[in-house]
Amino acid sequence: MDEIHKNILQRNRSNLVKDLDPSKLYDGLLEKGIFTQDMIDEIQSAGTRRNQARQLVQDLETRGSRAFPLFLQCLQETGQESLAELLQNGAPAVTLQPATPTQVVRPVIQPLPFMDGNKPGKDVEKLEIPSSSPPGGGKPGPGRGYKMDASPCGYCLIINNMEFEPHSMLKNRKGSNIDCEKLERRFKTLNFVVEVRTNLRQKQIKHELLTLSKKDHSQYDCCVVIMLSHGTEVNHNRFPGAVYGVDGQYVPVQHITNYLNGQHCPSLQGKPKLFFIQACGGDERDMGFEVSPDEVEPSSGGMDDQTDAIPMSSSSDSLSMSDEPDARPTLPTPSDILVSYSTFPGYVSWRETQSGSWYVQTLDCILEENAATVDLVTMLMMVNNEVSQNSAKGLYKQMPGSFNFLRKLLYFRTQT
């Protein structure tokens, strides 16, 4: 930062500490590249609003020549114009130079594979492999698929929260250990280095993600993060939902993805980053709608089905719950990211205490049967289809889904 701008900040520090609302600025500071997610987390850990404001101003002075004018923009965009005017008084006019462009290699866009809905049979077993799948398995043609032949392929981090602290008011998640064991075994067969962490608090979840982001992934082709926990619905810009630590404090899915995006983890740039979220996206319970008998095959869950939703309030029918608002960080570099959710945003996710969650059971089976020949997005569509046919307590339904920012087809390399 230029000395004249540093002096302006230092001269007005007391007013900034007194009146600045840092919580309104974090989205813009992250979006404009002034701070990284790690730096924002560090500022938030300073404690009170005044302490956060003081830390933010100190850190701002270290963030280069563009930081001051971009900070003024953030103040104006968040309704803190009086502070922006205060800093502009006596300051020379600022011309914001564009950021130095970086060379971008644009992918070749291929048409999406499709299936003929008029063909008889719509159950999972009769889904056809798209024509983009290479004959006999193996890698797709040049430019059509991600490189996935490194050995090992990459890291797979599984965070399995089963036993929650009493003050969190969250129930223990019986059956989650079954999910964890299945996924650990499955991703080892897919040639990943699997690391399992159990019963983590919010800050411990962030620490594990930060540690993963700081690893050198240059020799690997992919990275996988799996979250098994309670969840809730939060405000968002791109990726909905949040995952709870065992202390009852949550981490938004959007924050989870930010740790590994192209900006914060350079050694994963251009490589697929996969996130699998087994947690509720909210508290609504889907009772489905009527279809013709040949549309689905009847399937029922057990009477001990549980959800991973968090009740935030009570009502007369005990099904009404509420969500909590959260900050709205943005994702500066969303390419090559796929987030697979066990349930549609806003709805509960069902788990059987004896056999694990519907989503993980189905995902594991689909991967086992199809990973050698079918691309990931098609397999997740198979998961959606099969899970949608289940019924909890003979009444409730579940619909998984994905937010897909992959640029190419992804085929796992299976071990023989």
User: Looking at the annotation, which residues are catalytic?
Assistant: 230, 280
How many CB atoms are located within 10 Å of the residue 341 CB? Answer: 26
CA 79/CA 149 separation, integer angstroms:
50
How many residues are present in the chain?
A: 416
CA 294/CA 182 separation, integer angstroms:
32
By CB neighbour count within 10 A (0-12 exposed, 13-18 middle, 19+ buried), where does 59 fall? middle
Query: What does R_g of the chain's alpha carbons equal in angstroms?
Result: 24
- Determine contact, residues 124/370, Cβ cutoff 8 Å: no
335 residue type, one letter: S
Terminal CA-CA length for the chain? 56
- Strands 242-244 and 231-232, sheet pairing: antiparallel
153 residue type, one letter: C
Check whether the bond before 400 is cis (ω within 30° of 0).
Answer: no
